[in-house]
Amino acid sequence: MSPLNKSPFIPEALSDLIESFRLLPSIGPKTAQRLAFATLKMPADQIKSIASALSEIREKIIFCIICQNISQEPKCDICTNESRDSSIICVVEEAMDVYVLEKSGVYSGLFHVLHGSLSPANGIGPEEIRINELINRIKNDDRVKEIVVATNLNLEGEATAMYINQVISESDGNIKVTRLARGMPSGSDIEYADETTISHALGSRIKIDESL
């Protein structure tokens, strides 16, 4: 991200706030400026509330020791919910994907969050994401019968799915590894899919070897 040329008409404090907003994903210069100027019209207590929430999120949000999803407790609400189907684990790239899949209302199993995808070109290998945690989890839980790989349908997501399938097949041939059905557009991210598309993709999932 290239820094904005600072205007002599914008106070330094406001310019710094604009630059801070630009650190967020999908926030361009104009959106950052609108957000920064909007804060000038907000009551002081609202600004303090936002600042406090931003500060506390780093202190209070941790990763679940089982599934690596975001949580405020060592074990998240999904992993501690005994009504969930513990025989199936849906593997996603980001915590946001858990939220999207949960909204569909058709999945009742468990999750595992990788916090990324394989991208050799960017120096991201298996050690940089939570694949080892997934493999260890499977080895220590004989209830698991199926892994649903719900990584994004792009080059990195497909590479990650293939790698997970290979590693699990080599370590435990009794576990079925499936992929979301092709109802989702190629190259798309899970977080942008609507509930109907997610529902179809989950309900029509197929083994990875058959999806090639």
Task: Tell me if 203 sits within 8 A of 106, measured CB to CB.
Answer: yes
Q: Is the pLDDT of residue 181 over 90?
A: no
CATH 1.10.8.420 range(s) for the chain read 12-60
Question: What is the band of 183 on the pLDDT scale with cuts at 50, 70, 90?
Answer: low
Q: How many CB atoms lie within 10 A of CB 11?
A: 11
Q: Which residues of 28-58 are buried (b: 16+ CB within 10 A; e: fewer)?
A: eeeebbebbeeeeeeeeeeeeeeeeeeeeee
Phi-psi region of 68 (alpha: psi -120 to 50; beta: other; left: phi over 0): left
Task: Tell me if 149 sits within 8 A of 161, measured CB to CB.
Answer: yes
Under CATH, which number does the domain 76-211 receive?
Answer: 3.40.1360.10
CA 46, 49, 51, 57 torsion-angle sign:
negative
pLDDT: is 200 or 48 the higher one?
Answer: 48
In percent, the amount of the chain with pLDDT more than 70 equals: 89
Q: Is the pLDDT of residue 203 over 90?
A: no
Question: What is the band of 186 on the pLDDT scale with cuts at 50, 70, 90?
Answer: low
Q: pLDDT tens-digit profile of 100-148?
A: 899 888 899 999 999 999 998 889 999 999 999 999 999 999 999 999 9
Q: Is the pLDDT of residue 191 over 80?
A: no
Measured CA to CA, the distance from residue 109 to residue 34 in angstroms comes to: 41
Q: What is the pLDDT of residue 73?
A: 95
Q: pLDDT tens-digit profile of 8-51?
A: 678 999 999 999 999 998 899 999 999 999 999 999 999 999 99
Mean pLDDT of the chain: 88
Q: What is the pLDDT of residue 5?
A: 56
Strands 146-149 and 176-179 come out as: parallel
Looking at CATH, the fold of the domain delimited by 12-60 is given as Helicase, Ruva Protein; domain 3 (1.10.8)
pLDDT: is 191 or 29 the higher one?
Answer: 29
CATH 3.40.1360.10 range(s) for the chain read 76-211
